[in-house]
């Protein structure tokens, strides 16, 4: 490796194990495909050569909305390798959402499924995208056809640590998504810290096997899980979709599993989850949403393992983690552990002063992992940083005398449903556009499966008659399904404070038990 090359791919490739013919990725039992480390090396070279042959400008964005597959992962790695900027998009996004992302990010290349090619290519070409390729779950499509004729050797593009590796869209409190710009340095530093904190074992230390069941269009499944495995030369068992029964079936071959709390509660609902199937496991990690203490305890009783909960954001990758090694402390349920090495975390009051130990306030962070800013939103970026360069997370929490961090709420109006973020302002914007709607408020209510789900309270215009089922159906036609409120209630009015602001706390108290 060129020591001055800060390209994340160079570091990941450097960690490939000495036996390059060993299995790097094994897919689920249905397809049963095996990919060796040589396959990873050659296929990322071919895809990187394809991207390189297109004459794209520096910093070009490669937008990707495809079903999860190993080839989609290879495309991510190839984008890094070629030095371009990876822009993954949730497969649930519909046309209005995609039009916004494509218009805002102006990707030079879009990769989508053959099924979506018609409408998406029209949208992308209109927005100035030069190339649209297809990639399907079954490894067909123009992307791989074009890559197949490329050379299988490629020199990793030189990148500086502060050059962009990826843009991850994270919805904004005003309703519009913001692209968090993450650099090669952000991602590599975080991956290296996690490798050491979570004790990832390289093959000569006995090796780890990651059971990968999360989507790969978010930080959790794409960066935290994949970088951990690759940076330690560990094998991955790759599931294109989460299925509790399949996960349990594959657990005896794995050592590491990562999930959002919904995955853990769905696994607990399976009688097949026993101490015996989990006996080979080294580590279960949870994050992206609060893990209920009941889930934490029941998991301990059923499997004998203590889930390690950690906390992060799209803008920062991982920030805190419960200890892996008993010598560093216990894994404490209901907390997200200690700030990771290199992360400075503080809790401030609304006036910007530190609160006393154990008191609640706004969580602010600084570190090599913290993003470069929001894509083409310098004012928004400036707003989210303090004068002394701490990033305002929008999470509210406390740090106890031993240093454990607990998240107690959010100052940002955000619902986290099954690990996906739903921004009420965005959903309200769509509801308010519907005929006969005067105004609306979307709140989060507790839900046994998704932790929290969106519920809409809608006020009709004078004389209008609203049909809740119709509102939900209209939203499903325009919005990603996970954002669509699971229930909609028509109300006479919304409670407001003296400033005229809707009092969501009053609504949550009134409707929170739905």
417 in contact with ligand AMP (CB under 6 A): no
Shortest distance (Å) from residue 334 CB to ligand AMP: 10
- Select the binding partner of residue 170 from ligand AMP, ligand MCA, none (C-beta < 5 to 8 A, by kind): ligand AMP
CB of 180 vs ligand AMP, minimal distance in Å: 8
Count CB atoms within 10 A of the CB of residue 149.
Answer: 10
Residue 384 found at the interface with ligand AMP (CB under 6 A): no
**Residues in 224-283 that interact with ligand MCA by CB under 6 A:** 242, 260, 262
Cβ 199 to ligand AMP, closest distance in Å?
19
Q: Which two tokens stand for residue 100?
A: 């916004």
Compute the least distance from the CB of residue 457 to ligand MCA, in Å. 18
Stretch that binds ligand MCA, among 2-10, 62-70, 350-358, 415-423 (CB under 6 A): 415-423
Contact 429, 453 (CB under 8 A): no
Complex with ligand MCA: residue 48 or 226, whichever CB lies closer: 226
Q: Residue 262 belongs to what H/E stretch?
A: helix 261-268
Distances 371 to 65, 170, 416 between C-alpha atoms, Å: 23, 12, 21
**Among 107, 418, 424, 485, interactor with ligand MCA by CB under 6 A:** 418
For the stretch 141-144, contacts whose Cβ atoms lie closer than 8 Å and that sit 24 or more positions apart, written own/partner, are 141/113, 141/114, 143/47, 143/50, 143/71, 143/75, 143/111, 144/71
DSSP tag of 443: E
Using an 8 Å Cβ cutoff, are 264 and 299 in contact?
yes
User: How buried is residue 410: exposed, middle or buried, by Cβ count under 10 Å (0-12/13-18/19+)?
Assistant: middle
312 near ligand AMP (CB under 6 A): yes
For the chain, the 3-state helix, strand and coil shares in percent, each to the nearest 5, are 30, 25, 40
Q: How many residues bind ligand AMP (CB under 6 A)?
A: 19
Which C-beta is closer to ligand MCA: that of 79 or that of 417? 417
Q: Are strands 344-348 and 361-366 parallel, antiparallel or unpaired?
A: antiparallel
Look at residue 189 and give the partner it binds from ligand MCA, ligand AMP, none, a contact being a CB closer than 5 to 8 Å depending on partner kind. none
Instruction: Say whether residue 4 binds ligand MCA (CB under 6 A).
Output: no
Q: How far is the CB of 224 from ligand AMP (least distance, A)?
A: 10
Pairing of strands 85-88, 415-417: unpaired
Q: Is 321 in the site for ligand MCA (CB under 6 A)?
A: no
What token pair was written down for 377?
């939103």
- Token pair, residue 236, equals 């991955």
7 with 80: CB under 8 angstroms?
A: yes
Least distance CB 450 / ligand MCA (angstroms): 4
Query: Considering only residues 83, 179, 215, 228, which one is a binding residue for ligand MCA as defined by CB under 6 A?
Result: 215
- In the complex, least distance from residue 175 CB atom to ligand MCA, rounded to whole angstroms: 18
Sole window of 4-12, 413-421, 425-433, 461-469 interacting with ligand MCA (rule: CB under 6 A): 413-421
Stretch that binds ligand MCA, among 15-23, 298-306, 308-316, 364-372 (CB under 6 A): 308-316
Transcribe 403-432 into DSSP letters. --EEEEEESS--EEETTEEE-HHHHHHHHH
Q: Minimum CB separation from ligand MCA for residue 444, in Å?
A: 11
Closest residue to ligand MCA, judged by C-beta, is 418
Which of 40, 165, 244, 289 touches ligand AMP by CB under 6 A? 289
Does residue 26 sit in helix, strand or coil? Answer: strand
Which of ligand AMP, ligand MCA, none binds 215 (CB below 5-8 Å, type-dependent)?
Answer: ligand MCA
Judged by CB under 6 A, does residue 183 bind ligand AMP?
A: no
- Which one among 43, 49, 288, 417 touches ligand AMP, defined by CB under 6 A? 288
CB of 463 within 8 A of CB of 429? no
Q: How far apart are CA 457 and CA 378, in angstroms?
A: 34
Report if residue 421 touches ligand AMP, rule: CB under 6 A: yes
DSSP readout, 331-349? --TTS-BEEPTT-EEEEE-
Return the exposure string of 151-172: e unless at least 16 CB atoms fall within 10 Å of the residue's CB, then b.
Answer: eeebebbebebebbbbbbbbbb
416 binds ligand AMP (CB under 6 A): yes
Listed residue (412, 495, 500) closest to 457, CA to CA: 495
Tokens 């609060």 label which residue? Answer: 290
Binder of residue 147, out of ligand MCA, ligand AMP, none (CB less than 5 to 8 A by kind): none
Stretch that binds ligand MCA, among 22-30, 217-225, 232-240, 358-366 (CB under 6 A): 217-225
State the Cα–Cα distance between residues 64 and 305, nearest whole angstrom: 36
Quick check: 265 binds ligand AMP (CB under 6 A)? no
Q: Give the residue among 59, 239, 68, 241 at the shortest CA–CA distance from 164.
A: 59
Q: Which of 116, 163, 208, 395 binds ligand AMP (CB under 6 A)?
A: 395
Under rule CB under 6 A, residue 288 binds ligand MCA: yes
- Find the binder of ligand AMP among 112, 193, 226, 313 (CB under 6 A): 313
Q: Say if strands 451-460 and 437-447 run parallel, antiparallel, or are unpaired.
A: antiparallel
Hey, which residues between 434 and 493 contact ligand MCA (CB under 6 A)?
450, 453, 481-482
In the bound complex, what is the minimum distance in angstroms from residue 496's beta carbon to ligand MCA?
28
Residues lying near ligand AMP in the complex (CB under 6 A) are found at 170, 219, 287-290, 309, 311-314, 336, 393-395, 407, 410, 416, 421
List interacting residues with ligand MCA (CB under 6 A).
Answer: 214-215, 218-221, 242, 260, 262, 287-288, 312-314, 417-420, 450, 453, 481-482
């Amino acid at each position: 490796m060129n020591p001055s090359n800060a390209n994340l791919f160079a570091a990941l490739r450097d960690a490939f194990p000495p036996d390059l013919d060993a299995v790097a990725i094994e897919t689920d039992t249905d397809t049963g495909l095996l990919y060796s480390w040589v396959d990873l090396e050659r296929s990322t070279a071919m895809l990187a050569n394809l991207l390189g042959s297109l004459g794209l400008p520096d910093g070009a964005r490669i937008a990707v909305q495809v079903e999860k597959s190993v080839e989609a992962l290879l495309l991510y790695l190839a984008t890094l390798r070629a030095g371009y900027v990876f822009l993954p998009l949730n497969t649930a996004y519909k046309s209005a959402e995609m039009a916004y992302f494509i218009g805002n990010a102006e990707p030079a290349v879009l990769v989508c499924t053959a099924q979506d090619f018609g409408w998406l290519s029209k949208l992308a070409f209109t927005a100035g995208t030069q190339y649209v390729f297809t990639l399907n779950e079954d490894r067909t499509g123009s992307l791989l056809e074009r890559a197949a004729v490329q050379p299988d050797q490629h020199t990793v593009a030189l990148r500086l640590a502060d050059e962009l590796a990826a843009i991850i869209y994270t919805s904004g409190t005003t309703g519009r998504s913001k692209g968090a710009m993450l650099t090669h340095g952000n991602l590599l530093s975080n991956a290296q810290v996690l490798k050491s904190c979570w004790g990832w074992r390289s093959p000569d230390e006995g090796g780890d096997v990651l059971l990968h069941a999360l989507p790969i269009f978010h930080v959790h499944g794409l960066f935290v899980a994949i970088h951990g495995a690759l940076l330690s030369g560990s094998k991955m068992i790759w599931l294109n979709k989460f299925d509790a029964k399949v996960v349990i079936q594959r657990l005896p071959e794995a050592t590491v599993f990562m999930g959002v709390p919904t995955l853990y509660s769905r696994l607990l609902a399976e009688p097949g989850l026993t101490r015996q199937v989990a006996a080979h496991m080294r580590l279960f990690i949870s994050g992206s949403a609060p893990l209920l203490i009941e889930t934490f305890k029941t998991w301990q009783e059923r499997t004998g393992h203590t889930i390690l909960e950690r906390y992060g954001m799209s803008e920062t990758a991982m920030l805190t983690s419960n200890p892996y090694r008993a010598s560093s402390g216990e894994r404490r349920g209901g907390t997200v552990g200690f700030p990771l090495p290199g992360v400075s975390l503080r809790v401030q009051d609304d006036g910007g002063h530190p609160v006393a130990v154990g008191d609640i306030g706004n969580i602010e962070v600084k570190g090599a992992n913290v993003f470069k800013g929001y894509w083409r939103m310098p004012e928004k970026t400036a707003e989210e940083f303090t004068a002394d360069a701490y990033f305002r997370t929008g999470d509210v929490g406390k740090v106890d005398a031993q240093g454990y961090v607990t998240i107690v709420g959010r100052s940002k109006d955000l619902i986290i449903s099954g690990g996906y973020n739903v921004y009420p302002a965005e959903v309200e914007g769509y509801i308010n556009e519907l005929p006969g709607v005067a105004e609306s408020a979307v709140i989060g209510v507790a839900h046994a499966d998704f932790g929290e789900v969106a519920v809409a309270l809608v006020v009709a215009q004078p004389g209008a008659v609203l049909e809740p089922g119709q509102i939900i159906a209209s939203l499903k036609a325009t919005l990603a399904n996970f954002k669509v409120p699971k229930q909609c209630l028509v109300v006479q009015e919304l409670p407001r404070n003296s400033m005229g602001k809707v009092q969501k706390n009053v609504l949550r108290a009134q409707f929170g038990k739905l």
